[in-house]
Structure 1
């Protein structure tokens, strides 16, 4: 059984006299211990997907249709009280803004003890020792000192380690990480990614890692979902997608990596911008920016077409694969 199963999920936001769709027909699953990335530009719907799964959508947002199953439970049907038993305990979330994740007027220890005792009936001293042990586990060199410090007294890397420690306290089965390394320098970023990967492997914790950077997800995730304008446009093994991207949008994202440009040359870019919720194009939403767009891309929405390494929603890829398959058949006939 899948740990997390999302089926035909659509999310909308109430705005004035109309509802705007942010996610369209999202379907995927995560197995226990699996590390899955969600990648795309800003505005693709990555964070909305994470918030929808964790039931943290803002007041104007709501799930219009679809299913979100965690194990054998349908999360959409849970009450607020039932969610308190799952969020944090079985499903944990790491947010992008570290200072917003920590209470600035409470010490690290107070916040960790509060998290433990909200789910477990243990004494303060037991909770304190558990917190210090977990701070040591995330490689904070002076966990006893850190326990009594305030968030502003810690560096960015230390704060992110503390957040990971708080997440680990309740031994979750799934961690949703929303661009957790964006504000860190390259060295700290590598350390945090290594730490997250190590924790997931040691404790068999599943990870949904939200990012815009293929360079980052290649270090930690086994499988990748590429999102554009609220839809998944390609999905498959991370290394397979990086080495042989099929969708033109995925190709554009990979070509835009700094290492793909020659020294002294401008960085490669995808022309145009991500469409807003109020101006989403018909057909394939990427067609106004796609250099290979076919006439049908402008008015028809492509279904997933399965290739050797990934599943891709693209008429161009489907046509190329079909032509190649026909050529192989004709060649075999001639022989």
Structure 2
């Protein structure tokens, strides 16, 4: 049985006249211990999907239809009290804004002990010992000293390590990390990615890693979902997608990486902008920005095509497959 399964998930935002469709027909699953990336530009719906899974949608967002199950248990029907037992203990979140995640007026130790004692009956002495052990496990030097310090006294990389330590305290089955390394410099970013990967492997924890950067995703994920305008447009093994992207949008994201341009050369940006959910184009939402677009792309919603590399929703791929299947005359 898959750890997490999302089926036909649709998320809307309530409006006076007509609801705005933010996420459309999202389908995927993640196995125990698997590392899955969700990639796309700002506004693609990546963070919204993470919020929908954990029932943390901003108002007036709501799940209009679909199913989210954790080991077969439906999550969309849980009460707020039942969610208290799921969040943290079974599904943990790591956010991009480190100072918003950590309480600035409480010491690191106080926050870690509170996390432990809110879900268990462990006494303070044992909780303190457990917290210091976790700080050491995420390679924080002088963990007893850091236990007494406040978030503002730590560097960004150190705060991110503390957050990973807090997440591990409750032994979750799944971690959802929403662009957790964006604010860090390249060297610290690489260290945190490696740490997160090692933690997931050693504890058998599954990971959903949300990012806009394929360069980051390549370092940590086994499988990738590419999102555009609230929909999944391609999914498959990360390295195969990077080596041979099938959807034109995925190709554009990879071509836009800095390493794809020569020194002094302008980056290969995708022309145009991500459409807002209220102004999603007809047909394939990417067609106004796609260099391969035809008239058919503006009229028809593409179906998923299973290629040798990945599953992608593109009319161009449909035409290629149908052409290959035509009998020789």
TM-score, with length taken from structure 1: 0.97
The residue number in structure 1 matching 2:36 is 36
Q: Measure the CA separation in 1 of the matches of 2:261 and 2:10.
A: 37
> What whole-Å deviation, never above 9, does each CA across 1:256-284 have from its counterpart, x for those lacking one?
00000112111101000000122110111
Contact 2:230 2:277 in 1 (8 A): no
> Greater CA deviation, 317-326 or 99-108?
317-326
Q: Deviations over 1:279-312 (max 9, x none)?
A: 1101110000011112221121111000001001
Correspondence for 1:240:
240
SS at match of 2:7: strand
Distance 1:221 1:68 in 2: 21
Q: Give a deviation string over 1:100-159, Cα, whole Å, max 9, x none.
A: 000000000000000000110010011000000000000001110111111000000000
SS in 2 for 1:77: coil
CA distance in 2, matches of 1:293, 1:181: 34
Structure 1 position 318 matched with structure 2 position 327 = no
Structure 2 residue runs without a partner (length 5+): none
Instruction: Quote the Cα distance in structure 2 between the aligned partners of 1:41 and 1:16.
Output: 28
Aligned equivalents of 1:301, 1:253: Cα separation in 2: 21
Moved more, 287-296 or 131-140: 287-296
Q: Indicate whether 1:27 and 2:27 are aligned.
A: yes
Q: How does 1:168-247 map to 2 (within 5 A)?
A: 168-247=168-247
After superposition, residues 80-95 of structure 1 pair within 5 angstroms as 80-95=80-95
Q: Counterparts of 1:240 and 1:6 in 2: how far apart (Å)?
A: 23
Distance in 2 between residues matched to 1:254 and 1:312, nearest whole Å: 16
1:69-120: CA deviation from partner (whole Å, max 9, x where unpaired)? 0002100111111110110000000001000000000000000000000110
Partner SS, residue 219 of structure 2: coil
How far 1:16 moved relative to its partner? 4.2
CA RMSD of aligned residues (A): 1.0
Distance (whole Å) between structure 1 residues aligned to residue 221 and residue 243 of structure 2: 14
CA distance in 1, matches of 2:325, 2:310: 17
Name the counterpart of 2:288: 288
Cross-structure match for 1:59: 59
- The secondary structure found in structure 2 opposite 1:65 is strand
Partners in 1 of 2:188 and 2:325 — Cα distance? 47
CA distance in 2, matches of 1:256, 1:320: 25
Instruction: Compute the displacement of 1:325 (Å).
Output: 4.4
SS at match of 1:191: helix
1:17 CA drift (Å): 3.4
2:193 and 2:111 map into 1 onto residues whose CA distance is 24
In 1, Cα distance between the equivalents of 2:235 and 2:218? 14
The Cα shift of 1:322 comes to 2.9
CA contact (8 A) 1:294 1:315 kept: no
TM-score, reference length from structure 2: 0.98
Residue aligning to 2:165: 165
Q: Within 5 Å, which residues of 2 pair with 1:42-53?
A: 42-53=42-53
Residues 1:115 and 2:115 are matched in the alignment: yes
Number of residues paired by the alignment? Answer: 329
SS in 2 for 1:218: helix
Shift of 1:199: 0.6
- Unaligned segments of structure 1, at least 5 residues: none
Partner residue in 1 for 2:251: 251
CA distance in 2, matches of 1:186, 1:10: 36
Output the CA distance in 2 between the equivalents of 1:49 and 1:243. Answer: 26
Q: Per the alignment, in what secondary structure is the counterpart of residue 264 of structure 1?
A: coil
